[in-house]
Structure 1
Amino acid sequence: MRILGILTLLSGPALAAGCPQLPDYSPELRNLIEQADRAPDVRAGRVVSDAMWKVWLRAPDEVAQGILDTGLRRRDAYDFLGAIGEFDRLVTYCPDYAEGYNQRAYIHFLNGEYAAALTNLDMALNLQPLHVAAQTGRALTLMHMGRISEARAQLLIAVENNPWLPEAGLLAKDAPLGPQGSDI
C-alpha cells in the first residue's frame, strides 16, 4: 500500500485522476479533408495541413497537453529516450488519445525500430482512422520494412485524404512507391 501511495505522489494527483473522455474529432477532420481536396494551390493546402496538425496535437486536458508538449520538446532536442518516456506516460494516462501512439511511433521510426513504429501507428489509426499523419507514417514505415505494395496502398489513402502531403512525391513514376512496370 505504501508503494502505491508513493507512486501516486510521484506521478502527481492529476495523473491519478485519469484522462477525460476524448471528444470525437472525426467531423472536424472530415471537414479539413474536404478543405484539402478543394484547396486551389500548395499554399492553401499547407494551411489545411497545419489545421489538421492542430487537431491531432490538441490533448484532452492540461495534464495530457503538458506531457505531450514535454515529449515534443525532448524529441526536438534529439532526447529520444526522454521523449519515449513522455509518450509512454501519455499513452498510459490517455490510452484513447491517438497522438500519443503516433508520436511514440515517430521516435521508434527515427531509431530504426520499424516493427515498434508500425505497432504504434496501427494503434493510433485504430483510435483515429482519419489521422493522415499516422497514415503517412505507416506508409513510410512499411516502405522501410520493404513492404512496398502495402506502403503504396497506405500512402494512396493518405494522399486521398490530403493531396498536399510532401510524401505524395513518393508515388511518382520512378519514385520508391511509384507505379511498377510499364503501362501499355
Structure 2
Amino acid sequence: MTMNLMRHSELYANRLIAVLLICLCTIAGIAIADTVRDDLFEALKNATTEAEAKSIERDIWQSWIEAAPTPQLKSKVESAMRKREQYDFQGGRDILDEVVKEAPSYAEGWNQRAFILFLQGNYEASLNDIERVLELEPRHFGALSGKAMIYMTLGRVKLGQETLREAVEIHPYLQERSMLIKPKGVDL
C-alpha cells in the first residue's frame, strides 16, 4: 500500500512538473515542450489504470493547447472550443479559420477545426485538417480517433479500425477503444 502510494505520488509530481515546464516554455518561448510531451506520452503508454491514463490524457491535451505560439491564439482556440460546446459550430469554425491562417504550424488549431468540421458533417474537409494535425503531431490520438470515426461513418470500416488501433497504441485507455472489432481468434 505504501509503495503504491509513493508510486502514485511520484507520477503525480512528475506530471505536475511536466505541465509547469510546458507553461514556462510557452511563456519563455523555449522549445522543450516536445521533451516534456515525450515524458507524458511514455507515462500514458505505461499507465496501469484508466484513472491514471485520464489524468495524463488531460495533461497532454493541456500541453497541446498551451503550445499556441501566442497567448492571443491560445485564447482564440479556447473561445472556439466554448462556441463548439454551445453548439455554435460556425462561430467556432470562423475563429479557427483565423487561427490556422495565423499559425499554420499550430497542430491544435487544425485539430479543433477538424472536430468542428466533423460535427458539421464536412468529413472531407475534416480529414484534410486531420492530415495536417498528424503531420505536425503524429501522436495526436484525438486526431487519429477522429479520423477513424470518419472512416467508419463513411463505411470504410477496415481503414477505420486500422486507424483506431494506431490511436490505441498511443493511448491504451482511449475511450473509443470500445469501438474496436475483435478479430476472429484474437484476444484483445
Scaled by the length of structure 1, the TM-score of the pair is: 0.79
| Percent of aligned positions that are identical | 31
Match of 2:161 in 1: 152
Match of 2:79 in 1: 70
Displacement of 1:24 in angstroms is 6.2
Displacement of 1:22 in angstroms is 8.9
Amino acid of the structure 2 residue aligned with 1:148:
V
Kindly report the root-mean-square deviation, in angstroms, between the aligned alpha carbons of the 2 structures. 1.8
* Deviations 1:99-129, CA, capped at 9 Å, x for gaps: 1111111111111111111111011111111
How has the CA–CA distance of structure 1 residues 22 and 66 changed in structure 2, closer, same or farther, with 3 Å as cutoff? farther
- Are residue 107 (structure 1) and residue 129 (structure 2) matched? no
Amino acid of the structure 2 residue aligned with 1:91:
V
**CA separation in 1, counterparts of 2:72 and 2:47?**
35
- Are residue 179 (structure 1) and residue 179 (structure 2) matched? no
**8 Å Cα contact 1:29/1:130 also seen in 2:** no
Which residues of structure 1 form unaligned runs of 5+?
A: 1-20, 172-177
* Deviations 1:34-58, CA, capped at 9 Å, x for gaps: 1112212111111111111111111
Displacement of 1:179 in angstroms is 3.3
Aligned pairs, number: 157
Structure 1 stretches of 4+ with a deviation exceeding 6 A read none
- Out of 29, 53, 63, the residue aligned to residue 45 of structure 1 is 53
Which residues of structure 2 form unaligned runs of 5+?
A: 1-28
| SS of 2:124 mapped into structure 1 | helix
* Deviations 1:16-73, CA, capped at 9 Å, x for gaps: xxxxx89464333322221112212111111111111111111221121121111111
